[in-house]
Amino acid sequence: MKIIVKGAYGESNFGDDLLMLVFEEYLNREFKNSQLVFVGREKHYPNNLLKHSKYNLEIHPDVVVYGGGTQFFSFGERKSKKTFLEKLCKAILNPQMIYNFLINKIAPSKGKYSDVPNAFIGFGLGPFKSEIAMLNAKQHMNGSIFIGVRDEVSFNYCNEWGIESHLGADVVFSSYFQIPKLIGKDNAKRKIGVIVRDWKWEESGALYIKRIKEFIEKDSSPVIYEFIVFAPLIDKEWSNYLSERDHLVWDPDIDNVDVFLKKLNEYDGFISARYHGAILGAILGKPTVCIEIEPKLRILCDQVPQLELWKKPFDISELTNIIANLNYEIDYTWALAERRKMADDMLDLFGERLSKEMLKS
């Protein structure tokens, strides 16, 4: 069997690179003797991370899997310096821009794999500030052989649209992801990693950038804070800001996943604006604060209630209080066991559906 897995791979984002490797482990273990190809951005480094798969190799697959991440969403746009009149004039002078937008958004094409069964596994939906984006999501998902979502909000979207789905969990929670043997570093002072990201979507989430800098500058506790960048090619504003400062960055041309996880394990806790940063904080057994830049971080705190949430509008005194009361002996055991079972059940059900689909052909 030939399987293509599509996602936001090849963007030097540690979260998506980790998803890629978890899917590789699952599919190679459960579908032995299959040809597995991951498809993403044109970069070479995924070939160095993958062990038993190919990257961006041209094949005609038997099934296309959309592997994890937030596949469909739309946020309210951040304020632009251009006036409405300037935007309108640009559109009038360039009608092709309007045509391309409508063709791409209202009638999306499934491309060269339109005749191939597809499935969505462990992914998230929303938020949707645009009816066009919602229509795009529904059109892509209709007719899929399997849809497994990672949270209740995405599950509710599918129910409202009349699309059958299974409520699972992010595959990083699954038993197909095993962290390497780690030895925690005995820091003389508490050391907290601050996992940051640029935020171009809307103002209320982007406000955290200013506030987290102010918090670290003003904090008088003995805690050491160090910034962490998961996606340097994407988070260029943070990368520029940190260029003259000590920080940890994921560089897949230098590190592999196990090495980077060992570096993360040296922190005593995390403050994270990235979804998989918070998940890894829990898996590593570290107290973790989610920054509510977008709904999926709040949803994650509902799923793993031991996680803390720094809520909008990002009051500095609130974060100060959270950090002062962090539990460095926190126990995530039952919450992680629940997520693991939901992720594993989702993957098992997908396997059954795919096997039945292949018997038809």
Tell me the domains of the chain and their CATH numbers. 2-90+111-177+339-360 (3.40.50), 191-330 (3.40.50.2000)
Mean pLDDT to the nearest integer, 84-99: 47
pLDDT digits (tens, 9 = 90+) for 205-244: 999 999 999 999 999 899 999 999 999 999 999 999 999 9
The predicted model gives 187-193 an average pLDDT of: 91
Q: Is 4 helix (H, G, I), strand (E, B) or coil?
A: strand
Rounded-to-integer distance, Cα 10 and Cα 154, Å: 25
Cα–Cα distance, 208 to 211 (Å, whole number): 5
The pLDDT mean for the chain works out to 89
pLDDT per residue as tens digits for the range 314-348: 999 999 999 999 999 999 999 999 999 999 999 99
Between 95-106 and 131-141, two packed helices, what is the crossing angle to 10 degrees? 50
- pLDDT interval class at 79 (50, 70, 90): very low
Nearby residues of 272 by Cβ (< 8 Å), 6 or more positions away: 194, 195, 278, 281, 288, 289, 290, 291, 297
**pLDDT digits over 133-171, tens only?**
899 889 999 999 999 999 999 999 999 999 999 999 999
Q: What is the pTM of this model?
A: 0.89
Burial class from Cβ neighbours inside 10 Å (0-12, 13-18, 19+) for residue 210 reads exposed
Alpha helices in the chain (DSSP H): 14-30, 46-49, 84-93, 95-106, 131-141, 152-161, 203-218, 236-241, 257-264, 275-283, 295-303, 316-324, 333-360
User: What gap in Å lies between CA 21 and CA 232, rounded to an integer?
Assistant: 19
